[in-house]
Each structure stands twice: as structure tokens, then as C-alpha cells.
Amino acid sequence: MTRSSTNPQSAFSLRGKLKYLLSFGLLLALSSESLGEPRYQCGAGCPGRFYLGVFGGTGKSDSDHFTQRGVALFPDIIGGPLIIDGAGNSDHYSTPTYGIHVGYEYLGLFNCHNSWNLFPAAELEGFSLRGTQKGFLANPSARLPEHNFLDTLPMRSKFLFANAVFAVETPLARTVQPYVGVGIGMARQSISGADSLQLDPPEPGVNHFNSDPDDSDDAVSVQGKVGLRFAPFCHARFFVEYRLVHLASTNYVFGPTEYPTHAETSDWNVKLNDVNYHLFTLGIDLLT
């Protein structure tokens, strides 16, 4: 019977592979543990930290009910002044958004290492929206069988919010945190270059707001937001979120209509009822 001999080179190769695999496994374990550590540590006695963030995205408005009121100053010989009280709904419109926020975050309400934790924060936030709102308005009138308008309102809205934000840390994914936030604030909504075109009876080329198509108004606004943030670094984190922004009703004064071939009118009063915006944003926070 022949004894089998062991190849020293093969044995060395096998031991080398085992050593490599053990080293790789140890490195992977250390890396996983490092990723599992909370990224929200500072010096002893530090209660929290400041952060500064920028974000941008896109969204869409809900349909908005609005009205347009004014008086066409026809002479008495053709019936006298005609009161116009049109009402209708606007279309949905898309809007880009961009903004900035600054906040102070408490570093763990429960201070539980390797367990659940809560990170509350107070935040001041400002952002902008812009888009063009269009809507069809009908004005029932005994003097005219049809009296309808198409309004086009290019607008820009600037919001300022005070927010409360609450992020949750879990033992399963300590660098990925879901969060919710609520805020209350004010908004300035500006309309520039408003146009009111009469469709029935048609008056092509006549903007009933032509003498003054610009105005703005302030209104109370509230918002809620939910999102996820990812913190792979000690001093930076990324976030993605959805927010619902509610804007209270606003009022504008345009006009009057001034054309040589058109009857004079009074000023035009336009009221936009409450509207909701649905926004999706991405951003980055820089952390102290």
C-alpha cells in the first residue's frame, strides 16, 4: 500500500486562504459594528447640536376654488353697469421648490445605547414655490346668456415656518432614521402678470387686468412632513421627504380694464380659497 504524501505548497496555500478569510470576516464585523454605532456623539455633557440644511424638489397643487368680482361700467343706454361675479376652480399645477433650514437637535431623548432613541429638534425653515394657476370662471347673468372667463395667474409663494421635528433611531439601522415634523408659519404669495380673458362672448386680445396685473397677499400656513435621513458621516447627513403644505385663502386686487374699445371697469377682486401643496424633496444637512 502506498502512503499519500502532503504537498507543503498546497497546505500553505490552504492556510493562507483561511487566514485571508478570517481577516476579512473580522474586518467586516468591525465595519458592521462601526456602522451600527450612533453618529450623534459629542463631548461629555453636550446636550445637542446645530445643523444647517438645503433642499430642493418638485410638487403639485390641489385644485383651488376662486372668484373674480368687478363691475363693467356700461352706459345707461345699453343697460347700465354690469356686475360680474364669476366663480370656478383652478387646474392642478406643478411647482419646483427649494429652501433652507437651520435647527437645533437634542442628541437622544432617552440616551439608550444600542436601543431605540428619539431625537427632537426645533427648526426654522424657509422655502419658495412657483407656478402658473389657470382656471375657468362662469358668471351667470340675466343680461348675457354666457359670460365666462379664463384666468391665468403666474404666482410665486415664499414660506417661513417654525417646525418641531422628531427622528427615531432603531437598533437595526442606526444610520438610517425615519422622522416626522409639523410646522406653522406665514406665506407671501405674489401674482405677477395676471391675465383674465373673456371666452363667452369672446373678446380676443383683451386682458381685463391690463392696467395693473400684479398684486400679493400674506396668509397663515401650516405643514406636515415625513421622511428618511441617512447619516454615513459624523458631520453630514442626507434626507428625502414628503411634505403637505396648507395655505389659507388669499385676496388680490387687479385692473381696472383700460382699452379704448372696451367699456371701463372697476378694480377686479380675486379671491383664492385654501389650497394644499404636495411636495417631494431631497436635501443635505451639515452638522456641528
CA–CA gap between residue 111 and residue 118 (Å, rounded): 8
Calculate the average pLDDT of the chain: 85
Mean pLDDT of 185-191: 98
Alpha-carbon gap, residue 253 to 271, rounded angstroms: 9
Residue 107 confidence class, pLDDT cut points 50, 70, 90: confident
Least-confidence region, from 135-139, 142-146, 161-165: 142-146
The pLDDT tens digits for 170-185 are: 777 668 899 999 999 9
Q: Return the pLDDT at 233.
A: 83
Confidence of residue 110 (pLDDT cuts 50, 70, 90): low
At 142, the pLDDT band (50, 70, 90 cuts) reads confident
pLDDT value of residue 170: 78
User: Is residue 37 scored above 60 in pLDDT?
Assistant: no
Q: How confident is the model at residue 169 (pLDDT cuts 50, 70, 90)?
A: confident
Output the pLDDT for position 173.
67
Per-residue model confidence (pLDDT) at position 28: 39
Mean pLDDT of 30-48: 48
- Strand pairing report for 148-169 and 82-90: unpaired
* Contact in structure between 250 and 43 (CB atoms under 8 Å): no
- The string of pLDDT tens digits covering residues 41-98 is 444 445 789 999 999 999 999 988 999 999 999 999 988 999 999 999 998 899 999 9
Which pLDDT score, from 0 to 100, does residue 27 have?
43
Query: pLDDT band at 15, cuts 50/70/90?
Result: low
pLDDT at 143 over 60: yes
Q: What is the pTM of this model?
A: 0.80
Q: Which of 105, 134, 118, 97 is nearest to 223 (CA)?
A: 97
pLDDT digits (tens, 9 = 90+) for 90-105: 988 999 999 999 999 9
Q: Does position 14 have pLDDT exceeding 90, yes or no? A: no
pLDDT value of residue 112: 56
pLDDT of residue 285: 97
